[in-house]
Amino acid sequence: MLVYVANYIWGALNWVWNFVYNLFKNIAAAFKWIWDNIIKGALTKLVKLFLRVRTWLKQTFGPVISFLKKLRAYYQWYFNHYVKPLLQLLGIVRKVLGIFRLLGFKWAARLDADIAGIEQKIVQVYSKLIGYINLAITWLDLIVDRSASCGAIRYSRR
């Protein structure tokens, strides 16, 4: 009788083991099928779509970004070669006017204030325009390729 009970328990344990083993084997096969037929295919299509969109964005906005970078370089060159010397000359004139102001000439103080306003407007217009150009470059770089925008972030407005 003891052998009969031991065989029965052994058979029950074997049946439970086979059931659990086959259950996990079927679950693993189901997950493998889901991965191979659904997730893997969807991810492959999604990556291909992403690459096509990124290529299209580079082809479409690449020339615009290139133009804006050339425009910024030309604008900085123009500012450094023509506007900056004018600002330096205005600074020298303001120093001379400072001497006249110290000597008591009231017109020198008014002229100095006017020249300071002109300098401020010139620098303000330059800063605003270069800021907008940099902002456009940064945003287009972010749209086209997030990893390529690290260099453009240096020039963005703060």
Query: Which domain, by its residues, includes 72?
Result: 2-153
**What sign has the CA pseudo-torsion 136, 137, 138, 140?**
positive
93 inside domain: yes
How many alpha carbons fall within 13 Å on the CB side of residue 80? 6
26 inside domain: yes
111 inside domain: yes
158 inside domain: no
How many independent structural domains does the chain possess? 1
* Cα gap 66→141, rounded to integer Å: 10
pLDDT in tens, the chain (158 residues): 778 888 889 999 999 999 999 999 999 999 999 999 899 989 999 999 989 998 998 899 989 999 999 999 999 999 999 999 999 999 999 999 999 999 989 999 999 999 999 999 999 999 999 999 999 999 998 888 776 545 545 545 44
